Amino acid sequence: MRTLIVFCLAPFALSAAPPDFEKDVWPIFRKRCYACHNATLKQNGLRLDDGASALEGGYSGPVILPGKSAESKLIARVITEKAEERMPKMGAPLSPAEIATLRAWIDAGADWPRKAAAAVAKPVHWAFQPVKRPTPPRVKSETWVRNDIDRFVLARLEKEGIATSGEAEKTTLIRRLSFDLTGLPPTPAEVRAFLEDARPDAYERLVDRLLESPRYGERWARHWLDLARYADSDGYEKDNERPIAWRWRDWVIEALNRDMPFDRFTVEQLAGDLLPDPAAPQLIATGFQRNTLTNREGGTDPKESRFEQLVNRTNTAGTVWLGLTVGCAQCHDHKYDPISQKEYYSLFAYFDRSDEVDIEAPLPGETGPHLRQLAAYRESREHLIDIFNIKPLQRAWEKQMMFTLDHPGANIEWDFAIANTRPMFDRFEATLRTPPGQRSAHDEDRLMRWYIRSPGPDDSRDPDFMNSLREFRRRLAGIDEKLPSITRAPAMMELPDPPRTRLAVKGDYREAGIPVDPGTLAVLPPLPEGAPRNRLTFARWLVSKENPLTARVTMNRLWQELFGRGLVLTSEDFGTQGEAPTHPELLDWLASEFMERGWSLKQMLRAMVTSATYRQSSHARPDLKDIDPGNTLLARQSRVRLPAESVRDAALTASGLLNDTIGGPSVKPPQPEGIAELVYSGSAKWKADEGPGRYRRGLYVHFQRTAPYPMLMNFDAPDSNVACSRRRRSNSPLQALNLLNDPVFYEAAQAFAYRLITTTPPERRVDDAFLHTVSRLPSPKERERMMRLLDDQASALATQPAEAARLLPVKPDEAAWVTAARVLLNLDEFITRE
Amino acid sequence: MPKNELDFLAQRNRRRFLREVGGGIGMMGLTHLLGLEGRAGADGGPLAPKQPHFPGKAKNVIFMFMEGAPSQMDLFDPKPGLVKWSGKPLPESLTSQLRLAFISKDAKVLASPRVFKPHGQSGIEFSDYIPNIASCADDLCLVRSMHTEAFNHHPGQLLLFTGSIQFGRPTMGAWSVYGLGSESQNLPGFVVLTSGVGTSGGASNFSSGFLPSHYQGTLFRNQGDPILYLSNPEGVSAGTQRMALDAIRDMNQARLDETGDTEIASRIESYELAYRMQQAAPELADLSNEPAHIREMYGIDDPMTKQFGTNCLLARRLVERGVRFVLMMHASWDQHTYLNRELKKNCDRTDKPTAALIKDLKQRGMLDDTLIVWGGEFGRTPMVEIRNTQDPENAGRDHHPLAYSMFLAGGGIKGGTVVGKTDDIGFNIEEDKVHVHDLQATILHCLGFDHTRLTYKHMGRDFRLTDVAGNVVKKMLA
């Protein structure tokens, strides 16, 4: 190819007449350039569909220098031999003739007549168009319709000539509703009560009861936690525990249980601190943004760590509210969606103006006792500090640290102290440089506590000095113990003196590009005029009724959780590369209904689960196998495996072990040795909770990012590093081993057996066992099989009394129930919501 | 459209099909979770053996990840030039753009006290700390010109294993099993063995990222249950377990008949596979039937080499049984301090077993289709790091991403070769730069993949292991 270029005739290089823009140049731009360099996409800030803009150039400056083709970037980029830099990105390189034309045109002065400027506007992608409330269509089978949702679904099915499925059995319905709304199975008593409830609105009453259950908030919080990439540790190498991360998790549970309107739910989490006179819960809500990873690896560049966190926050907001892959525009303009790199940094800029802060957020009952002891505590603490003469020592250390910050390289040992302190001590430089008198008591205390652990290289060598510091720490701990503590919470605050955000060229934080103001995407409605450009405005803009995405994206995710797949399958991507909605009008109806009903999640869930569509049987239909294998037309419900946490919760519920405490610090159930040891240098300790904490719901299990609880991972819990809007549902032998042999599940089986033996008469045990696990009675065939298992197992155990006693120290025929319980806790149906 | 493109499209459609089956979106069941005899390839589920783009020389990979960054100029890349600079800072022209984790740019140069000698026919020089690896010289391709962007451990490990320093992408092992499936009917396709202490990357080094979780690495332990939850619960006999499994199967079958959901068929298959795994894994982990000379070779009865040697022997046994990708993680080679002492300790633990694995594979004819990769996430500085000025033994080296060494051997690799050359002090690369993405492209090439075509659509675009870069390094290939 290259040799060919050299020998090809270049017409304009030889002729004197400059090319004609309309006839010769414009067709090249139109055919080869402006698919990307147009008014909407403006890749790298460059437009080649408009003369004035083209001459202005892109993010890196002008690309056409009239009269100087050799110096024009436009030419350089089409002739370069580096394939990764050569334009156009798509298709063959420009031909030598085309290149010659462009050169000649530029050398002749790059004249761009006005009339060519009109570029054809591309039709706007569906998701960016305003939500319009459609009229629910008419259907033939009016009797099937329970609410408007059904009209949209049925109209489509009738058009395709597909019949709906019958309503699922009542036992299936109560189990489905219980898992979907509370994440837990119904108890046998609840099943019986529902079966016996002959009132016409028994179903709706059940729905209302479940929506009012405090378990509702737990179940839907878990979904929100996925989106918020919540975890109980920092991630990255050190992966330190986050002992107060749960404060935000509990805020979510409570907000959902109170059915906080979703617009307020959004505003408080993104900008609670900017509300007028924010109350503690509104500050705790901003903990949403604190779920980013924190890199505390020694020697990390704090600028890089912060940049990565801001990227993570920006991308998360993009996924959660806009359903867009904005992250693609971190390094370059989005290849497919109208999101320029500049716009990316205009979203990034909102977060760039804020910083992390841990606030005092006392739990009920904490403040009084704390205050009662505070004066005495301070006095003895000050006294102790005086005795050990800590303050002058600390100040000297501070001075040395500050000197080292200002004179890196002067003393390598102190340099190392800085490199190690910086990532471990939040806002270290700012805190250190604040004069002691102006520091908050908390910051002053943090500094002192850091100092007395790491007093710097010089003093660390003096064993007497270190012994005296150790003694000080011991006595300080003694005093600390007497002061009832106040629990803190992670939150965000606005920086008093925010930096000017700059576009990071190629997404590299070290390459500052043009300055960027907080803003939004041009393809979406503008910000209200005159509103301050801060997170509060941004959050309110996200939930403004003009925003076409937030309501659609949110309703789609609810639908996904209730039907096994979203109306838009790619719930994380509403852009041009995502899947189109299967029922666009239904999605818009849901979105507009959601906004009209004051953004109430519970009302929308209620509407969805009371529809006839939802109440259908999930049985496979041979007639649909070929025409709708993905069940996109909703002629039946979907049969889906439970999420990881519900698998655990179901086993604990059936066995009667479940500890239903709501909220509080995360817990550590037993896990095999070798897992926690995966964490860097074995720094994470996993001490299994011996008390009732080990029987808490799955959402309370401590999530260690670099060594997550294996059961959760086996069942497809997200890794909590980036926002997850759609979990996968795999089916693997490791899941089988987990349910069969994990001591947690075995303990559940033993407890379940013991519960049946001690609370149920023998003749009712099989029925009850089924009710506890699959919420229905066994078929005759199943009953027969279960009886056979019990008989076989009892006879085997009769000859093996030692094994029987190890299963459960009861009579062998009763010990056989452990095996029966294990079987039930391993059934596909047990871990499936039908 | 050329024929190979048509083939590619057909293959991609098939992959998409497998993916949807595997993703468990609920449309189709994993009727055949693993490829059963006679069904390999076509539609046997996500782990069924699949054909690569072209016949690859390697069928399996053993990645010996030496976490923390082994010091290349003390092991693989002799730099007598350092002596001239020893004790002096490097010129600013070299260091002005440098990013360092702990030391400053004017840190003084530290010459290596190691003695290097040529080995084998090829005469490749290795340090006296690794005599056994050196004895494999003619089977190794030593790359002295590796480079990367990341200069902190976790980002470096993410880049090495996923091609990106951002979280959430699949790792090399996951991509390999996604591309090739698994040859084993009763073991996972991607197995992880660890030794030493915990790594910076932890589970993110073997995550399946956005690929379905079938492709995630399974942690295989060399003590206790080799696979988590492999043993029956304490007190449950084999007979009782089988009795339970039979009842589970029968009742799942009844539900399958009732609902018609083929996902239940996959569940039944999963339980059968789990049972087979229960039989196969203990046999695999039982090294007692290995002959004495093999145990000696790997050093599994010597406390110094026991842990790593056991993992090396397990790696061979895993590959023998069709496991596609074995990731061995040994930590930590992060010698900021006490370089001589700590580096020696690491070498004493790993040198002999590493060589044993290479030689043992070779003598069994397995090296031809097993690719071995040895190395860390970046290298170490020619400059010294001192954290304690009063202890002369304390000297170590900081992180250096600009030039470091790794070696490869086996399937598709040209033994007895050196690729790349660094400058006199090992600071920059002078010839044949090999980026981490190039290494990844080359590994995939050995497995039979064009790295630009092994892709998976996620968040609206096709992703691949090599991100948007990478070139196969022809000089490394046989």
Taking an 8 Å cut-off on Cβ atoms, the answer to whether A737 and B230 are in contact is yes
Taking an 8 Å cut-off on Cβ atoms, the answer to whether A736 and B213 are in contact is no
Confidence check: pLDDT of B32 > 50: no
Taking an 8 Å cut-off on Cβ atoms, the answer to whether A792 and B216 are in contact is no
pLDDT at A812: 83
Spell out the residues 6+ positions from residue B303 whose beta carbon is closer than 8 angstroms to its own.
Answer: none
Could you tell me what percent of chain A has a pLDDT over 70?
A: 97
Mean model confidence pLDDT for chain A: 92
Condensed to tens digits (0 to 9), the pLDDT of residues A312-322 reads 999 999 999 99
The C-alpha atoms of residue A286 and residue A308 are separated, in whole angstroms, by 18
The C-alpha atoms of residue A757 and residue A794 are separated, in whole angstroms, by 14
A682 touches chain B (CB under 8 A): yes
Query: Closest Cα of chain B to A396: distance in Å?
Result: 20
Asked whether the beta carbons of B306 and B300 are under 8 A apart, the reply is yes
pLDDT at B18: 35
Confidence check: pLDDT of B15 > 80: no
Q: Report CA A660 to chain centroid distance, whole Å.
A: 25
Give the mean pLDDT of A619-639.
93
Out of A161-170, A612-621, B213-222, B277-286, which region has the weakest mean confidence (pLDDT)?
Answer: B213-222
DSSP strand pairing (B190-196 vs B370-375):
unpaired
The C-alpha atoms of residue B243 and residue B349 are separated, in whole angstroms, by 45
Q: Which residues of A touch B248 (CB under 8 A)?
A: 823, 826-827
Confidence check: pLDDT of B10 > 60: no
Taking an 8 Å cut-off on Cβ atoms, the answer to whether B254 and A577 are in contact is no
* Residue of chain A with shortest Cα separation from B149: A508
Give the mean pLDDT of A493-506.
92
Closest CA to A79 of A66, A63, A95, A68: A95
Query: Closest Cα of chain A to B213: distance in Å?
Result: 6
Give the mean pLDDT of B145-173.
93
Closest CA to A712 of A175, A232, A241: A232
Taking an 8 Å cut-off on Cβ atoms, the answer to whether B266 and A239 are in contact is no
Asked whether the beta carbons of A573 and B459 are under 8 A apart, the reply is yes
Give the mean pLDDT of A497-508.
92
Query: Closest Cα of chain A to B188: distance in Å?
Result: 9
Give the mean pLDDT of A271-288.
97
Taking an 8 Å cut-off on Cβ atoms, the answer to whether B248 and A827 are in contact is yes
pLDDT at A16: 58
Higher pLDDT, A295 or B45: A295
pLDDT at A123: 59
Taking an 8 Å cut-off on Cβ atoms, the answer to whether B460 and A578 are in contact is yes
Per-residue CA distances from B294 to B63, B302, B356, B372 (Å): 21, 13, 8, 19
Higher pLDDT, A53 or A833: A833
Q: Where are the domains of chain B?
A: 58-230+291-476
Find residues 553-582 of chain A whose CB sits inside 8 Å of chain B: 564-565, 569-570, 572-573, 575-578
Higher pLDDT, A4 or A566: A566
Query: Closest Cα of chain A to B254: distance in Å?
Result: 8
Q: If you count residue pairs, one on A and one on B, with CB atoms under 8 Å apart, how many are there?
A: 299
Phi, psi of A461 (to 5 degrees): -85, -10
A618 touches chain B (CB under 8 A): yes
Confidence check: pLDDT of A815 > 80: yes
Among A337, A462, A732, the strongest candidate for a mutation testing the B interface, having the largest count of B CBs within 10 A, is A732
A219 touches chain B (CB under 8 A): no
The C-alpha atoms of residue B467 and residue A445 are separated, in whole angstroms, by 46
Out of A260-274, A545-559, B384-398, which region has the weakest mean confidence (pLDDT)?
Answer: B384-398
A9-13 contacts at long range (C-beta below 8 A, 24 or more positions apart): A9/A96, A9/A97, A10/A96, A10/A97, A10/A99, A10/A100, A11/A97, A11/A100, A11/A101, A12/A100, A12/A101, A12/A103, A12/A104, A13/A100, A13/A103, A13/A104
- Encoding tokens for residue A556? 């789609």
Taking an 8 Å cut-off on Cβ atoms, the answer to whether B244 and A826 are in contact is yes
Q: Which residues of B touch A630 (CB under 8 A)?
A: 25-27
Q: Which residues of A touch B461 (CB under 8 A)?
A: 325, 328, 335-336, 577
Find residues 217-236 of chain B whose CB sits inside 8 Å of chain A: 218-219, 221, 223-225, 227-236
Among B43, B167, B225, the strongest candidate for a mutation testing the A interface, having the largest count of A CBs within 10 A, is B167
Query: Closest Cα of chain A to B272: distance in Å?
Result: 8
A506 touches chain B (CB under 8 A): no
A502 CB neighbour count, 10 Å cutoff: 17
pLDDT at B45: 67
Asked whether the beta carbons of A774 and A172 are under 8 A apart, the reply is no
Q: Which residues of B touch A621 (CB under 8 A)?
A: 260
Residue with token string 């190395």:
B375
Condensed to tens digits (0 to 9), the pLDDT of residues A346-401 reads 999 999 999 999 999 999 999 999 999 999 999 999 999 999 999 999 999 999 99
Higher pLDDT, A441 or A663: A663
Condensed to tens digits (0 to 9), the pLDDT of residues B312-351 reads 999 999 999 999 999 999 999 999 999 999 999 999 999 9
- Within 13 Å and on the Cβ side, how many CA atoms surround A514? 15
Q: Which residues of B touch A335 (CB under 8 A)?
A: 461
pLDDT at A112: 82
pLDDT at A834: 97
Confidence check: pLDDT of B293 > 70: yes
A136 CB neighbour count, 10 Å cutoff: 18
Of residues A409, A419, A577, nearest to B106 (C-beta): A409
A331 touches chain B (CB under 8 A): no
Taking an 8 Å cut-off on Cβ atoms, the answer to whether B25 and A630 are in contact is yes
Condensed to tens digits (0 to 9), the pLDDT of residues B60-112 reads 999 999 999 999 999 999 999 999 999 999 888 888 878 888 888 888 999 99
Asked if the ipTM is above 0.90, the reply is no
Quickly state the pLDDT bin for A54 (edges 50, 70, 90). Answer: confident
Query: Closest Cα of chain A to B293: distance in Å?
Result: 30
Which of A706-715, A743-752, B35-44 ranks highest by mean pLDDT? A743-752
Domain B58-230+291-476 has CATH 3.40.720: yes
- Encoding tokens for residue A119? 């570029």
Find residues 233-292 of chain A whose CB sits inside 8 Å of chain B: 235-237, 239
Residue with token string 């001589």:
B340
Q: Where are the domains of chain A?
A: 2-122, 261-361+492-542, 367-485, 640-735, 741-833
Spell out the residues 6+ positions from residue A815 whose beta carbon is closer than 8 angstroms to its own.
Answer: A753, A794, A797, A804, A805, A807, A808
| Sign of torsion over alpha carbons B337, B339, B342, B347 | positive
Of residues A707, A730, A782, nearest to B213 (C-beta): A730
Asked whether the beta carbons of B263 and A731 are under 8 A apart, the reply is yes
Could you tell me what percent of chain A has a pLDDT over 90?
A: 74
